[in-house]
Structure 1
């Protein structure tokens, strides 16, 4: 789902919840005329009819929180603007000088765009990111001397952006006078387009080509944008020739960046290319333990273990799951979060996140489970019932049910024509073990990774 669709779904959900919980007269007067302007950094900016409408909206915080968790899997705060204030703001912005005319001081957040919260100290290291973190730390220690450019790739929500900010913050800590700038590829494109339109290319080049450190996020956004690619090619060459450090991130390796000029792809590969993969069980537990420490609720180890066993895709969804569990616990006035609460909170979340694996089949699951437990596939699906075969068989049935959503009778047929009640029992047994048995959680996690 795209961000625009999510925003639309969020606002629709806010209005649906309001209709259910607010008197029709109040809904028509306060809610219906309001508009969602934007959602940025998990803050929804809402335009209301008049200034006195703000008091009513402030009392509806629950609507925003609930809709935020349902759509984004995390809490959404909100900022209110009256129509009068919006008009005043537009007029003020029209009278202000352009950002390229008056550049902010170099070490300020306005210029660097660095988030001070993202540092190496709070970046949880695991098997999936240890090489990327090591490379990032080396770059921060000696910018421009090693791994230039540093190209980090991996899926969404795995911590690439955190590492980029950590590099910038570490460099500024050692040398506050360094010219450091973090920017998304989309922002670079917008800056270039605006500079071209306003005849301010000299100022654009002065901003980007005089940097000591350029941290460019999501470079795949340059695909199919010939003008921007040419400009970045020249910017890259200027910076690299000066010994400035360049760090790039993408969702794929340089060679797989479609519709990107070959000369750029070649330059992206000059330094070091390293990846970040989904966090393993131990890393997910470390992340949850760290995040839960800042909560005013108590999360027992078995509850964190359950969450870690359920969410295995990326860090962002893992943190969103923890936020959702905390939200449900607070709604239920709990101070100690148990597994039942976590299970309730994650039930709908898991169904929304579940993505079918297009190449996955029953046979592949059976083969991989058999191989993992060092038994034959024939024994796995056959009539033998010793524990060393029966347990892997239950695991296989559980995974087929969870990942392929086959019916119970259909799964039974894949295991020598077993009755659907046998499959039901197997699924229930493993589901229960997934709540508090760390060994089973690790086994299931390891097997699922074989399918990715």
Structure 2
């Protein structure tokens, strides 16, 4: 954390504000809109000099989050707009950042500019984030195999048959977490190892920089001198023939020297188009492990861990509601709970289900305005029955099915407790609700008509 000796000019600098707006436009196109609106939209440019760009964030929590998540993207945008890199420093004012002139704000910390890509610092700074550890990786059926393989490599780098270890899966499922956890574990337990984590984009940029400055020999020496290379998002090498050639030789040099390689991608080697066959065959020569979207229990566990780390308290119903509505992307899951905690901290409001629906309305595609009454009306309209019939004790096949569907959708879209849902349907026991939800979840696997009915009801709710 670096503090400035002098205070920024009172009020917002016009040039700084204009430049920051242009920077935000670039960043906006590279990150999810929800993340941009939550974290970056409330920021503002304060002042610029030849070395420092001073930016105001709403609070320290937001500044920490921005630095942790968006550092590289912001730095690239700053260089693009200003024509040269700047050191970025965040400040927050005592009144939350709305009035900078009341008293001099205090810098929170600074984001250092990237070091020269081709230098011995690659060995001093492995580019690893200390937040990615095996200890805080939530293991479930969807990622158990990949986690076990990564842990085996971390405990015995250069000694397993898993070389390379190739981890693939959809966006935001934990590939980067596992790759960096391998590096952090290795650095902690094997202090003499030279560990380097890079994205394929960084590898490409380093290679281009080396060509431009006639330092390709140094580039090759440095990248081929590591003991553990962790390369993230290998699919982005597609179409880059010269970079592929360079990585091919880097891979061979490391592999033949018995060094460990860990690769990640958003697809299996067979599904990557635009990479040379000789690279793809090498990717498959070790161990290929996939990560699937987490199941409900794992998603809830992830949310519980985040809440625990933030030393907060959130009800199980709220966590279940979020987990049921965000099903495929862990980053979105994390972003939603962090957004909720941040809003709760700023407003001082109770983190109940109603507040959660209000805060996460945009993230959940408008479903946050849905409640049990609205769902019951939509189900009744679809099945052409009356609400009183759904809540009655009648058990005709038609009513039973409509009631089960209504209970299932209530649980999915409102996060209401089993007891609350049971009370909505004539005071039924929570075990009846569990049974109904289970029946629908099972039948949807093979009953396409049922699936279409539920999709139609959900579409009507969002409309």
TM over 0.5: yes
Distance 1:148 1:27, change over 3 A: closer
Root mean square deviation of aligned Cα: 4.4
Query: 1:80-99 CA distances to partner (integer Å, 9 max, x unpaired)?
Result: xx99xx899769xxxx9983
Q: For 1:316 and 1:102, locate their aligned partners in 2 and report how far apart those are by CA, in whole Å.
A: 32
Matched, 1:385 2:398: yes
Residue among 296, 300, 313 paired with 1:298: 313
Aligned to 1:99: 116
Aligned to 2:228: 213
Aligned to 2:144: 130
Q: Residue 185 of structure 1 contacts residue 216 of structure 1 at CA under 8 Å; is this kept in 2?
A: yes
Distance 1:35 1:120, change over 3 A: same
Secondary structure of 1:350 counterpart: coil
Residue among 258, 273, 287 paired with 1:272: 287
Q: Residue 149 of structure 1 contacts residue 247 of structure 1 at CA under 8 Å; is this kept in 2?
A: yes
Secondary structure of 1:326 counterpart: helix
Secondary structure of 1:293 counterpart: helix
Matched, 1:149 2:146: no
Secondary structure of 2:273 counterpart: coil
Summarize the alignment of residues 248-327 of structure 1 with structure 2, pairs less than 5 Å apart.
248-295=263-310, 297-327=312-342
Q: For 1:105 and 1:187, locate their aligned partners in 2 and report how far apart those are by CA, in whole Å.
A: 12
Q: For 1:301 and 1:148, locate their aligned partners in 2 and report how far apart those are by CA, in whole Å.
A: 41
Q: For 2:442 and 2:213, locate their aligned partners in 1 and report how far apart those are by CA, in whole Å.
A: 54
Aligned to 1:117: 131
Distance 1:449 1:205, change over 3 A: farther
The CA deviation at 1:345 is 1.4
Q: Residue 34 of structure 1 contacts residue 48 of structure 1 at CA under 8 Å; is this kept in 2?
A: no
Secondary structure of 1:181 counterpart: strand
The structure in which a higher percent of residues are helix is: 1
Matched, 1:179 2:176: no
The CA deviation at 1:283 is 0.6
Question: What count of residue pairs does the alignment treat as equivalent?
Answer: 346
The CA deviation at 1:57 is 6.8
The CA deviation at 1:431 is 5.9
The CA deviation at 1:436 is 2.4
Q: Residue 115 of structure 1 contacts residue 165 of structure 1 at CA under 8 Å; is this kept in 2?
A: yes
Query: 1:2-57 CA distances to partner (integer Å, 9 max, x unpaired)?
Result: xxxxxxxxxxxxxxxxxxxxxxxx88958853424476999869654568xx9x97
Aligned to 1:33: 18
Q: For 1:246 and 1:279, locate their aligned partners in 2 and report how far apart those are by CA, in whole Å.
A: 26
Aligned to 1:408: none
Q: For 2:120 and 2:439, locate their aligned partners in 1 and report how far apart those are by CA, in whole Å.
A: 54
The CA deviation at 1:343 is 1.2
Q: For 2:247 and 2:313, locate their aligned partners in 1 and report how far apart those are by CA, in whole Å.
A: 49
Q: Residue 404 of structure 2 contacts residue 437 of structure 2 at CA under 8 Å; is this kept in 1?
A: no
Secondary structure of 1:385 counterpart: helix
The CA deviation at 1:134 is 0.2
Q: For 1:321 and 1:442, locate their aligned partners in 2 and report how far apart those are by CA, in whole Å.
A: 27
Query: 1:175-220 CA distances to partner (integer Å, 9 max, x unpaired)?
Result: 1110110000000000111111211011001111111111000000
Secondary structure of 2:275 counterpart: coil
Secondary structure of 2:398 counterpart: coil
Q: Residue 154 of structure 2 contacts residue 182 of structure 2 at CA under 8 Å; is this kept in 1?
A: yes
Matched, 1:203 2:225: no
TM score, norm. by length of structure 1: 0.65
The CA deviation at 1:394 is 3.6
Q: Residue 113 of structure 1 contacts residue 181 of structure 1 at CA under 8 Å; is this kept in 2?
A: yes
Aligned to 1:372: none
Q: For 1:101 and 1:393, locate their aligned partners in 2 and report how far apart those are by CA, in whole Å.
A: 59
Q: For 1:325 and 1:183, locate their aligned partners in 2 and report how far apart those are by CA, in whole Å.
A: 31
Q: Residue 149 of structure 1 contacts residue 268 of structure 1 at CA under 8 Å; is this kept in 2?
A: yes
Secondary structure of 2:365 counterpart: helix
Aligned to 1:237: 252
Query: 1:372-426 CA distances to partner (integer Å, 9 max, x unpaired)?
Result: xxxxxxxxxxx83353x33444478x5xxxxxxxxxxxxxxxxxxxxxxxxxxxx
TM score, norm. by length of structure 2: 0.64
Aligned to 1:61: 58
Unaligned runs of 5+ in 2: 1-10, 88-112, 369-395, 419-432, 452-463
Q: For 2:179 and 2:362, locate their aligned partners in 1 and report how far apart those are by CA, in whole Å.
A: 33
Q: Residue 309 of structure 1 contacts residue 441 of structure 1 at CA under 8 Å; is this kept in 2?
A: no
The CA deviation at 1:294 is 2.9
Summarize the alignment of residues 66-105 of structure 1 with structure 2, pairs less than 5 Å apart.
99=116, 102-104=119-121
Unaligned runs of 5+ in 1: 1-25, 355-382, 399-428
